[in-house]
């Protein structure tokens, strides 16, 4: 469960990396909103065979995500995971929502069904 305006943080660890050094590998994440909009996000390699990604979901509801990489000769596509985004009411909610709105307004998101988000 994630509150609207908070980042979703995910990590992936895999030591079976054969095609090139781990720091040169790319792990791509796909986040799909409740309304079906797809966002492709590249993760950051953080050492020790771990890749991390932060993503700010902008819509309340059930989100889906998956990851893909090519650490071996055959490309890998994970199964689909899920997380809920809720509107949480707390004392600092108005401030959090203002920050979130500023992020959305500053983003370069387009009306394309596949939106690339820079990492």
Q: Two tokens at 98?
A: 């203002």
Q: Residue 119's pLDDT is what?
A: 42
pTM over 0.85: no
- At 99-110, the pLDDT tens digits run 777 777 776 555
With b meaning 16 or more CB within 10 Å and e meaning fewer, what string describes 7-22? ebebeeeeeebeeeeb
Answer yes or no: are the C-beta atoms of 12 and 45 closer than 8 Å.
Answer: no
As to burial, measured by CB atoms within 10 angstroms (0-12 exposed, 13-18 middle, 19+ buried), residue 53 is buried
Fold entry, domain 2-117: Immunoglobulin-like (2.60.40)
């Amino acid at each position: 469960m994630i509150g609207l305006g908070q980042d979703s943080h995910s990590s992936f660890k895999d030591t079976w990396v054969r095609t090139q050094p781990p720091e040169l590998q790319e792990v791509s994440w796909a986040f799909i909103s409740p309304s079906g909009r797809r966002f492709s996000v590249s993760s950051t390699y953080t050492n020790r065979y771990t890749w991390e990604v932060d993503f700010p979901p902008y819509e309340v509801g059930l989100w889906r995500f998956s990851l893909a990489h090519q650490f071996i000769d055959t490309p890998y596509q994970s199964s689909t995971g899920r997380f809920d985004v809720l509107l949480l009411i707390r004392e600092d909610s108005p401030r959090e929502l203002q920050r979130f709105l500023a992020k959305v307004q500053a983003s370069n998101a387009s009306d394309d069904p596949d939106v690339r988000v820079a990492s």
